[in-house]
Structure 1
Amino acid sequence: MGDTNDPEHRSTGDPQLDKEVHRWMSWDRLSSPPPLPVDLGGSGSGGGDGSSGGVLMLLLSLQNTWTRAQVEVLLGGGGLAELRSRLCSRMSFGTAGLRAPMGAGFSRVNDLTVIQSTQGLYSYLCRCFPDLRVRGVVVGFDTRGQEESGCSSQRLATLTSAVLLSRNVPVHLFSSFVPTPYVPYAVKKLEAAAGVMITASHNPKEDNGYKVYWSNGAQICSPRDKEILQSIEQQLEPWSPSCWDEGLVKTSPLRTDPLVQINSCYMDDLNALCFHRGLNRTCPLKFVHSSFHGVGHAFVQQAFQTFGFALPIPVPEQKDPDPDFPSVRCPNPEEGESVLELSLLLAEKEDAQIVLATDPDADRLAVAEKTAGCGWKVFTGNELAALLGWWMFWNWKEAQPVAADSQKVYMLATTVSSKILQAFARVEGINFEETLPGFKWIGNRIQELTAAGNTVVFSFEESIGFLCGSLVPEKDGVSSAAVVAEMASYLHNKNLSLNQQLHNIYQTYGYHVSQTSYVICNDPPTVQRIFSRIRNFDGDGSYPKSCGGVQIVHIRDVTKGYDSSRPDGRCVLPVVSSGHMITFTLQNGVVATLRTSGTEPKIKCYSEFCATPGCSEPSVLGAELRRITATLLDDFLEPDKNNLIGPNS
């Protein structure tokens, strides 16, 4: 019957939960099994004296003390709802891989779920790559998690490597923390089969994640994500104690450290994005850089050296890695001025004109510029994309012969990002394409386009994720920081600020004023009912025809694969049935997208007024955009009727 005081055999009254508790306790072992057999029977080493059974029982009972303690507390304290949340569901791949709080449970990031994920990934890679044991896998990590919690990124990367090494797969494991873009860059450079980055980017300190890159260097997307999840679910029980053997990364001849090679190659390749090195060397501007307690400091310093700049001034309190992120309320530079306080204070003290901030894994970049009125302009992701898009195309054009074929030049953006690049492409005669939200879609499209002989000069997503050129099929804060510095230096030499040039761009290509809003809904059936109503707004299968008195001229419903702007009514973007996303194009130039979040209980609204060139009244455009957005949220979502919570509620 079992010891009722043993958590593994204690009944919760819920047979399904009891089963999951038993599985968790059986599988969640310590990272290092005993190096030598231990004779628990005390009389010998074979037969029926109990010693081999005792050794086996010892191996099975050695469990991660941190995660085991969490489950014991929840069992003892009656936290059954929390236990169900942790044990009766699993993490799934979202727009940024597997990501969740660290802690015990199949829906959390911990030793066991990382081992399970790697076992499933290995099995899937075996089916896809007959030469897996030649190509190997790249593994990197950021600086998240305390060692005492047992969930530090380095430890989880080591366990990821141990699973692969135990199956004789070569592992290119970085010996120190690296920016997230280094993993996909290394996958391509080393011709590896795949890459794994242990990171939760700019999420709260409690979180960690497991991001997977394919052999083309891009993040996995559908259908591979679903196929890998299925493979994980078929490999849940740990194969052997060696899966926890962290010592394998030190003893296995199949483990290599790519840090020096990849860092050197990356900085060499970065030269392709530097167009004005001579001007950079004499640049009078000062730059402040914050790495937000993450990995970016040393890499941004090296990137500046590569471009010929003096080193940026680091924010001392945020220069070194710290998984507690003690100086910011949230480690996300996208939050703007409220989290850039230390950077701006230092810039004032040092008389620096530009502030650059990379997020903790250095794949995103925030930028602020000192204005003539002594305040600070913090650029949105859409605004910075307008500047970088202009800069990258202008320099590409300057470097080309007269007969260069602009029809083979592309810019990319996610569909919820600004349409400024579309306006730019229309005027300049180049190509613009949208992708689904998430840089994984951009990364894969870059690979397809470049393989066909095209040039992708710039790509972005509105959440301050940028890629200049096609150095790596992932957003990259390190290279973007150096490119922004060079652009600022060049403009300063022309007596222009970044903000002044932004307005020049808008005057030429049309002002694009953006707004992002959201409401919270914790009830999935309500979300389903809201979007069903929108799709049957004026009768069965009829979408809304107007918003705020303005005619809706086009509807695109990615969930249903419908696009009214196309002759065949079929959406070019892939159908995504796991969530809802509908885009409305209004007659006055407003484009608004309602979308459910893949990671939060939110319905997000991305709206933008895309004005024609020559309009010089952005304040008027902004007022009209706010009116349309408020009407859309009220009429289409009915927040009061559906008990939705606004951001300021």
Structure 2
Amino acid sequence: MDASLQNLVNEWLAIDQNETTRNEVINLVNVGDYATLEQIMHPRIGFGTSGLRAEIGAGFARMNELTVIQASQGFAEYLIQTVPGSQEMGVVVGHDHRHNSQQFARLTAAAFLNKGFKVYAYGFLIHTPLIPFSIKNLKAAAGVMITASHNPAVYNGYKVYWSNGSAIIPPHDKGIASCIEKNLKPLVWDKDLVDHHMLANRTFATDLLKQYWSQLHEFHAENTFSLDMQPLEFVYTPIHGVGLPFVTSALTLFGEQADMTSVPLQDSPNPDFPTVKFPNPEEEGALDLAFKQADTHNIPYVMATDPDADRFAFAEKINNEWRRFTGDEIGCILAYFIFQEYKNAGKPVNNFYVLSTTVSSALMKSMAKIEGFHHVETLTGFKWLGNAAAELEDQGKFVGLAYEEALGYMVGGIVKDKDGVNALLTFLHLLKRLKLQQLSVTQVFIEISQKYGYYVTRNSYFFSRDTQKLRGLVDALRKKSTTNGYPTKLGNYNITNVRDLTADYDSTTVDKKAKLPTSKSSDNVTFELENGQVVMTIRTSGTEPKLKYYICARGSSPEEAQKNATGVCMDIKNEWFKPEQNGLGEP
């Protein structure tokens, strides 16, 4: 064992008070498994704009009780330094059902209590949107949600929200990371402290939930629901997550709970997600049991939320085949529906806004241009969408929808983050409106495409535990040519423009600097092919060991758009990333 690894092991054993993780490290030392020790100890788990997310286990590179306490102590110290009165304002802490989530949440609460913070601690399983909602309504300084969202069962995470109810954005991430580094020694390690500490509030939850349901009812009564709507059957699955009681309560608001048929094998929270390979509704196979349940009951609609119920998915049975709608398709359909309801109510079109990210479909931009409402583009991630929406609402604007292609939807301003429960209720009312018009969702999307243009998105990823390899593959693209470095062709396509938000480069601007915020912490490079016929973004994930690609292609017909998207997808595999040669996995 080299000296640097030995120092990390010594540091770990000196401060870790959890017997399981201590023994895990001791056993690795005893058997001389230095490769695994290096992997779990270095580098330290990074604190980014999504907080923490990693596999559960011993070591500074993993999610465990020690790294959670360290993160909480650092976050608390950062709040004291930057938000006047933050201790009195307090923080909100909640958790989902994943392995160790409850313990991590209780230790998080203890760290903040020890720093003199009032703590609003949820004592039961919640869906993630309740944290940003609670922050807004309690006027708290911040919030922490223990969840790994749709990651595999071996993961957990620590998601951080700011006082405006949105996930944090730079420079807060670096500030918090710096404070964590200065507060590594645990000051308190007490899972029971939150049960009796005078600054712990555990009675607020009932009132907060009443407010959440009240605001949801008020928004939908005004914007999506009408009394002429008739019952409509659909199948719903929470994919072993926390969603079912929250979806049931949402349906009760308008007496629609009888519309839902659930999936018994996936109804209850189960941290092992035993019936799916990945608990992500985007992944193949995740909705198979729901499809089977729907077929059994002859129901043509399936809806789903991911395990922490902040994402929403939809599928429709057409011509005896299930069609899963992409995140972009759902987003555009929702925007179209919400806008039409808004316009039909006689409200001012020039005050209506839809937000989406740089990797979302260009169809939304086309829709906004033709209809005359505003479309705002942000960086990838709901932290950017939520903060942009908050700024617009402060100016008196109506944000009808903010969405990202990864099945995340913020309907209205109830929560400044994606909310799968709210999105599901909105989509149900959309389905009921279409039923009155005897239209399918597929038919409506065809009409949308005919009106605003044929766009096809093709999004996927490569994965590798070697995240430096993934970043290296993207960096190699910056050295492809002798002119500006970036490649000038891909397959038969000319690359006409490049925007690199890692290197602060944009070929379309006068000074060649990017207009959107830049960051060197991850890769984000967009290539425009043939003057916009295809727009493709390559980015490394901040929360998973993935190299993601997002392709949006247009054409004069659906077939041509699909052909362009498929061709570019094959070209980036064969010419740029060569998964077999580079040892990359694919879904």
TM-score bracket, normalised by the shorter chain, equals: over 0.9
Are 1:624 and 2:526 matched, yes or no?
Answer: no
Quick one: which amino acid aligns to residue 110 of structure 1? N
**Within 1, Cα distance between the matches of 2:123 and 2:113?**
16
Deviation at 1:281, TM superposition (A): 5.7
Distance 1:646 1:318, change over 3 A: closer
Is the CA contact 1:516–1:604 (under 8 Å) kept in the aligned structure 2? yes
**Within 1, Cα distance between the matches of 2:489 and 2:249?**
52
Deviation at 1:273, TM superposition (A): 3.0
Is the CA contact 2:354–2:376 (under 8 Å) kept in the aligned structure 1? yes
Are 1:27 and 2:15 matched, yes or no?
Answer: yes
**Within 1, Cα distance between the matches of 2:465 and 2:26?**
28
Distance 1:110 1:525, change over 3 A: closer
Match for residue 397 of structure 1 among 326, 343, 347: 343
Deviation at 1:535, TM superposition (A): 3.0
Is the CA contact 2:311–2:418 (under 8 Å) kept in the aligned structure 1? yes
Q: TM-score, normalised by structure 1?
A: 0.85
3-state DSSP of counterpart to 1:21? helix
User: Which residue number in structure 1 is paired with residue 168 of structure 2?
Assistant: 220
Quick one: which amino acid aligns to residue 607 of structure 1? I
* 1:546-625 map, 5 Å: 546-587=489-530, 589-611=533-555, 615=556, 617-625=557-565
Distance 1:208 1:525, change over 3 A: closer
Calculate percent identity across the aligned residue pairs. Answer: 39
Quick one: which amino acid aligns to residue 72 of structure 1? I
Deviations 1:433-461 (A, max 9, x none): 22222111111111122122222111111
Is the CA contact 2:229–2:433 (under 8 Å) kept in the aligned structure 1? no
3-state DSSP of counterpart to 1:339? coil
Quick one: which amino acid aligns to residue 27 of structure 1? I
**Within 2, Cα distance between the matches of 1:568 and 1:618?**
37
User: Which residue number in structure 2 is paired with residue 8 of structure 1?
Assistant: none
User: Which residue number in structure 1 is paired with residue 332 of structure 2?
Assistant: 386
Deviations 1:309-335 (A, max 9, x none): 233122111111111212222211111
3-state DSSP of counterpart to 1:168? coil
Is the CA contact 1:278–1:308 (under 8 Å) kept in the aligned structure 2? no
Are 1:269 and 2:208 matched, yes or no?
Answer: no
* 1:86-485 map, 5 Å: 86-94=40-48, 96-145=50-99, 152-239=100-187, 243-257=188-202, 258-271=204-217, 272-274=219-221, 275-279=223-227, 282-283=230-231, 285-311=232-258, 312-336=260-284, 338-371=285-318, 373-401=319-347, 404=348, 406-485=349-428
Quick one: which amino acid aligns to residue 592 of structure 1? M
Deviations 1:80-118 (A, max 9, x none): 111122223211134632001111111111111111111
Distance 1:473 1:280, change over 3 A: farther
Quick one: which amino acid aligns to residue 604 of structure 1? K
Distance 1:141 1:533, change over 3 A: closer
Is the CA contact 2:353–2:373 (under 8 Å) kept in the aligned structure 1? yes
**Within 2, Cα distance between the matches of 1:227 and 1:102?**
25
Larger radius of gyration: 1
Is the CA contact 2:266–2:275 (under 8 Å) kept in the aligned structure 1? yes
Match for residue 518 of structure 1 among 461, 486, 508: 461
Is the CA contact 2:463–2:584 (under 8 Å) kept in the aligned structure 1? yes
Deviations 1:115-135 (A, max 9, x none): 111110110010112212320
**Within 2, Cα distance between the matches of 1:82 and 1:564?**
43
Deviations 1:281-323 (A, max 9, x none): 632x201111111111010011112234233122111111111
Is the CA contact 1:355–1:369 (under 8 Å) kept in the aligned structure 2? yes
- After TM superposition, the structure 1 stretch with the greater mean CA deviation from structure 2, 105-114 or 88-97, is 88-97
* 1:500-511 map, 5 Å: 500-511=443-454
Quick one: which amino acid aligns to residue 209 of structure 1? G
Distance 1:301 1:600, change over 3 A: closer
3-state DSSP of counterpart to 1:335? coil
Quick one: which amino acid aligns to residue 13 of structure 2? M
Deviations 1:335-371 (A, max 9, x none): 14x1212111111222222111111100011111121
**Within 2, Cα distance between the matches of 1:563 and 1:473?**
30
Quick one: which amino acid aligns to residue 22 of structure 1? N
3-state DSSP of counterpart to 2:257? coil
**Within 2, Cα distance between the matches of 1:169 and 1:389?**
40
- After TM superposition, the structure 1 stretch with the greater mean CA deviation from structure 2, 468-477 or 180-189, is 468-477
Are 1:78 and 2:32 matched, yes or no?
Answer: yes
Deviations 1:218-248 (A, max 9, x none): 1112110111011001000012xxx222222
**Within 1, Cα distance between the matches of 2:137 and 2:379?**
27
Is the CA contact 1:466–1:475 (under 8 Å) kept in the aligned structure 2? yes
Distance 1:638 1:75, change over 3 A: closer
Distance 1:386 1:278, change over 3 A: closer
Quick one: which amino acid aligns to residue 151 of structure 2? N
Distance 1:619 1:281, change over 3 A: closer
Is the CA contact 2:464–2:545 (under 8 Å) kept in the aligned structure 1? yes
- After TM superposition, the structure 1 stretch with the greater mean CA deviation from structure 2, 312-321 or 617-626, is 617-626
Quick one: which amino acid aligns to residue 584 of structure 2? I
**Within 1, Cα distance between the matches of 2:79 and 2:467?**
34
Is the CA contact 1:279–1:490 (under 8 Å) kept in the aligned structure 2? no
Quick one: which amino acid aligns to residue 53 of structure 2? R
Distance 1:458 1:294, change over 3 A: same
Is the CA contact 1:176–1:259 (under 8 Å) kept in the aligned structure 2? no
**Within 1, Cα distance between the matches of 2:472 and 2:322?**
43
**Within 1, Cα distance between the matches of 2:8 and 2:464?**
29
User: Which residue number in structure 2 is paired with residue 45 of structure 1?
Assistant: none
Deviation at 1:418, TM superposition (A): 1.3
Distance 1:107 1:522, change over 3 A: closer
**Within 2, Cα distance between the matches of 1:540 and 1:524?**
28
Quick one: which amino acid aligns to residue 188 of structure 1? K
**Within 1, Cα distance between the matches of 2:143 and 2:523?**
30
User: Which residue number in structure 2 is paired with residue 49 of structure 1?
Assistant: none
**Within 1, Cα distance between the matches of 2:7 and 2:548?**
37
- After TM superposition, the structure 1 stretch with the greater mean CA deviation from structure 2, 559-568 or 460-469, is 559-568
**Within 1, Cα distance between the matches of 2:417 and 2:199?**
27
Is the CA contact 1:556–1:584 (under 8 Å) kept in the aligned structure 2? yes
Quick one: which amino acid aligns to residue 514 of structure 1? T
User: Which residue number in structure 1 is paired with residue 19 of structure 2?
Assistant: 65
Distance 1:529 1:126, change over 3 A: closer
**Within 1, Cα distance between the matches of 2:551 and 2:49?**
21
Task: Give me the CA root mean square deviation.
Answer: 2.1
Deviations 1:588-612 (A, max 9, x none): 611111222334444322111134x
Quick one: which amino acid aligns to residue 313 of structure 2? A
Quick one: which amino acid aligns to residue 148 of structure 2? A
Across the two proteins, how many residue pairs are aligned to each other? 582
Deviations 1:24-64 (A, max 9, x none): 122111xxxxxxxxxxxxxxxxxxxxxxxxxxxxxxxxxx2
Quick one: which amino acid aligns to residue 165 of structure 1? L
Distance 1:159 1:526, change over 3 A: closer
